[in-house]
Chain A
Amino acid sequence: MSAPDILVVAETNRGKVADMSLEMLGAARQLAAGTGGKVIAVLLSADGSTYAEALSAADRIVLINDPLLAGFSPQPYVAALESVVKTEGPRAVLIGSTSIGLDIGPLLGAKLDVPVINGCRAVSVEGGTLKVTAGFYGGKLLADVAIAAAPVILLVAPGAFRPTQQKGAAQVETKGSPVPLAAGPVTFEEMILPDATDVDITQQDVLVAVGRGIQQQDNMEVAEELAQSLGGALAASRPIVDQKWLPMTRQVGKSGMIVKPKCFIALGISGAPEHVEGMKDSGLIIAVNTDPNAPIFDVAHYGVVADLMDVAPALTDAIKGG
């Protein structure tokens, strides 16, 4: 008989609690309301004390500190979590679909022999059954899944939930790892951060992003001019960065940066989920694409079905001229 609590595995990113974790606390709140349980946030680190405040939406904040948890390594992380889960016996464990979560989620699920659901974007409790809506097939398909067993590991899709404003009891417990941790065969050596000299697109008010529709590297000039006319910067979807037409620091999406500028102009971007994840919270999204069925038009506020090589220069002119 499991407790109705919801466990959230929180993560930090460059010294801050990740937005993903705050979103998961929001999802957990929803679930906990249905199960009548508490929201427990778990953070694995070498020194988690500084993050407690950020996790105050939870009822309990469990900080597991151990030097072996300083840099990510699957084995110690999974071992520590496994022990926490066995102790707490939650109804569900929420893990972010991040590069850490995608490793530990399935590994934890295998260890505990419990189901793992990918891409969760909606959660509810009906009767005693926990239900989630998960997205797969590149976002083209949604599955309504019911899970009777407990716990279930939910890999949560970024941006699917809003962080909750509700504050929890925020009881902090700091302890060492409940089980002795071994370094394991995978060791973290160092984090290589991107080139700090390039523009930080996460700090820009205006971004003009180019995708496959730009076709030729020369054509990017037109986008650059538009960006400059608005005092913004050039960004790109993955294919452009793969071609090395722009550095990785300009990549918007799951693999690159998550951005929330005031204005995001998508030129020739189809709107694949991995990219949309990176920009959907932008203030104003304008998309230009020759394909009227491009998924980008679902997330954009305004759209133009035309050739970006026509629209971008005209827009630059209108901005300068007006």
Chain B
Amino acid sequence: MKIAAVVRQVPDLIEPVEIAGSEKTVDLDGATFRVNEADDLALEQAILLKEKLGGSAVTVVALDFGDIDNTLYAAAAKGADRIIKIPYDQQQPPAPKHAAAIYAEAIRGLEADLVLVGSYAHDELESTLAPLLAGKLDLPFVGVVRGVRPSADGSSATVFKEFPGAAVAKMNVKLPALLGILSADEPLRYVPVSRIRAAMKTAKIEEQEAPVPAPASAATIERLHHPAAGAGAEILKGSVEEVAAKIVSIFREKGVCK
């Protein structure tokens, strides 16, 4: 089975998000980047499928943005067969509609049976990549997926789509298809640094051009701002016993306990 996975770099939320002076874009100058967790899980799902099905190959496609080289080598260390980087020189990441067009250019030729993309990325404001990419590639789509089981003959796959209230819908998808991945069958595997470094020596990042101009958007960002720090909680101070006593009296007041 030929599997393709898209991996994005997103600004790391461990640092505060800075807004540019214009108040219309995010200031990414001092930002640190990390792999988008949902994409990491999509990759994990791809590798798991490769390990379960003989004769499969995984191709990882990514935009040259953020700290992508490290992510690609880590992907190779996990077992990806090809790692492809699309040149991109903008400071801001592409909006999902633009990204979908770019990735579609790069992936079309792969003739993948299954394309896996993370269900969300926190920097997406207008629409999300996975369904748009499916549209551009003219592939069937289902998102918010937490498990994939291809059929024996590879013509379809059973997917588990998450629903609220800890429910899961079992669905059948004819392949080729694109899936929006929320989580994989197994949690993320650990890749030791030594393997990533070994991959840096043996794996080669292929470059694939996909020059697609950014489409216009009918929505205009007027202003970016941080949420107002709300009134927030009343912080209870004192020794642990004092605090516990205060809480119990609040409980009594509100009828939580006697």
Interface residues of A (CB under 8 A from B): 13-14, 18, 71-75, 98-99, 102-103, 105-107, 109-111, 114-119, 131, 134-149, 152, 184-194, 202, 205-206, 230-231, 242, 248-249, 251, 255-258, 262-263, 283-287, 292, 297-306, 310-311, 314-315, 317-319, 322
- Is residue B152 contacting chain A, with contact meaning CB distance below 8 A? no
Query: Are the CB atoms of B221 and A144 closer together than 8 Å?
Result: yes
Known: A147-B218, A152-B219. A71 touches B257 (CB 8 A): no
Encode contact with A along B200-242: 1 for CB under 8 Å, 0 otherwise. Answer: 0000000000000000011111111111011011111000110
Contact of A298 among B132, B233, B234 (CB under 8 A): B233
Of the A-B pairs whose beta carbons lie under 8 Å apart in the complex, a sample of 12, sorted by A's number, is: A99-B161, A103-B142, A118-B125, A141-B17, A148-B218, A192-B170, A205-B256, A256-B165, A284-B251, A300-B233, A303-B235, A311-B244
Query: Are the CB atoms of A137 and B170 closer together than 8 Å?
Result: no
Query: Are the CB atoms of B172 and A186 closer together than 8 Å?
Result: yes
The majority secondary structure among interface residues of chain B is mixed
Query: Are the CB atoms of A13 and B226 closer together than 8 Å?
Result: no
Which of chain B's residues have a CB closer than 8 A to the CB of A13?
Answer: 163-165
Known: A256-B166, A297-B232. A186 touches B122 (CB 8 A): no
Encode contact with A along B15-36: 1 for CB under 8 Å, 0 otherwise. Answer: 0110100000010000000000
- Is residue B180 contacting chain A, with contact meaning CB distance below 8 A? yes
- Is residue B140 contacting chain A, with contact meaning CB distance below 8 A? yes
Query: Are the CB atoms of A73 and B245 closer together than 8 Å?
Result: no
Alpha-carbon gap, A97 to B125, bound state (A)? 13
Contact of B233 among A142, A205, A301 (CB under 8 A): A301
Alpha-carbon gap, A302 to B235, bound state (A)? 6
Which of chain A's residues have a CB closer than 8 A to the CB of B163?
Answer: 13, 99, 191
The majority secondary structure among interface residues of chain A is mixed
* B103 → chain A closest CB, angstroms: 14
Which of chain A's residues have a CB closer than 8 A to the CB of B236?
Answer: 302-304
Known: A73-B171, A147-B219. A102 touches B128 (CB 8 A): yes
Query: Are the CB atoms of B226 and A142 closer together than 8 Å?
Result: yes
Q: How many contacts A-B (CB < 8 Å)? A: 254
Query: Are the CB atoms of A141 and B224 closer together than 8 Å?
Result: yes
* B253 → chain A closest CB, angstroms: 9
Contact of B168 among A139, A192, A318 (CB under 8 A): A192
* A307 → chain B closest CB, angstroms: 9
Which of chain A's residues have a CB closer than 8 A to the CB of B222?
Answer: 131, 144-146
Alpha-carbon gap, A263 to B255, bound state (A)? 10
Contact of A137 among B123, B143, B177 (CB under 8 A): B123
In the complex, residue of chain A having the shortest beta-carbon distance to the beta carbon of B238: A304
Q: Which of B128, B244, B248 has the most CB of A within 10 A?
A: B244
Contact of A314 among B120, B240, B255 (CB under 8 A): B240
Query: Are the CB atoms of A137 and B135 closer together than 8 Å?
Result: no
Query: Are the CB atoms of B131 and A103 closer together than 8 Å?
Result: yes
Alpha-carbon gap, A286 to B236, bound state (A)? 10
